[in-house]
Amino acid sequence: MIDTHIHIGQFREIFYNPSEIIQIISDSGIKGCVYSSTTSCKDGVKYHEIQKEIEGVISHFSPSIFKPYLWFIPSYKAEGINIEDAMNDIPYKGIKIHPYANDWTNNIPKNNNILHELFEYASDFNIPILIHTGENGKDAPNTFEYFFNQYPKAKCILAHCRPVLETIEMFRTYKNVYGDTAFLSKANLQKIIQAGFADRILLGSDFPITHYFSQRQNEKITLQNRYNVDKSTLEGYKELIGKDEY
Ligand SMILES: [Zn+2]
């Protein structure tokens, strides 16, 4: 099994040490993972900081097994960072965009131009785009619908599948749209399976954000133990969807 949704770095007030997190995944016996840095949500963050975190991980963990995704934020453009250069520098295996943490809907058409570059790159080089979804309107599953339609060869993954009915609607309309199980309830996963889209689902945990929320509820749990819980959730979901690769 591959865990397709892992994070490293700063998440609110906690810094999740990149190599420590990936070591935990590696020790868990899982075949591999996809990870991106939540430091990308930090106010005023510069690409250099993310680059250093990822380079630190890939010096110890093969990027073809523990796969870094480039979490692209609109302000990178002003830093002179473009997708090609970042990809040539670090062997990223995918792109992440987060329409709630980073506002893609303002500054049109500038931001739309960046989105075109990202989706075009994903399409040309056959790498996935992982897209955060949520209940806040601006992170609805159809936020980037125009691009799903425009770039049918780009594999677009709706992280969290939230809200689930809107997500199913995207699966129904676009063959290139997938979803992941990060913070997805079993009931909502079952709705997706019943709608006939089990084959669009990727197994992702969102660890260590799961750990962050456990801590917030005053649950004392180690990172290692939290990942054991997350991994067994994924194993249960794997049984339900009847596949494990992506
Ligand atoms: Zn996440």
pLDDT tens digits for range 168-207: 999 999 999 999 999 999 999 999 999 999 999 999 999 9
| 244: pLDDT strictly greater than 90 | no
Domain boundaries, position 114: 2-241
Task: Answer whether residue 44 is part of any domain.
Answer: yes
Task: Answer whether residue 229 is part of any domain.
Answer: yes
pLDDT band at 246 (very low <50, low <70, confident <90, very high): low
Task: Answer whether residue 217 is part of any domain.
Answer: yes
Q: Residues whose CB is under 5 A from ligand 1 (ion)?
A: 206
Cα–Cα distance measured from residue 70 to residue 40, given in angstroms and rounded to the nearest whole number: 10
pLDDT band at 218 (very low <50, low <70, confident <90, very high): confident
Task: Answer whether residue 246 is part of any domain.
Answer: no
> Which H or E run includes 112?
helix 110-125
pLDDT tens digits for range 55-67: 999 999 999 999 9
Per the structure, the count of domains in the chain is 1
Instruction: Determine whether 239 is exposed, middle or buried from the number of CB atoms within 10 Å of its CB (0-12, 13-18, 19+).
Output: exposed
C-alpha of residue 158 to centroid of ligand 1, in Å: 11
pLDDT tens digits for range 99-147: 999 989 877 788 999 999 999 999 999 999 999 999 999 999 999 999 9
C-alpha of residue 58 to centroid of ligand 1, in Å: 20
CATH of the domain at 72: 3.20.20.140
| 245: pLDDT strictly greater than 70 | no
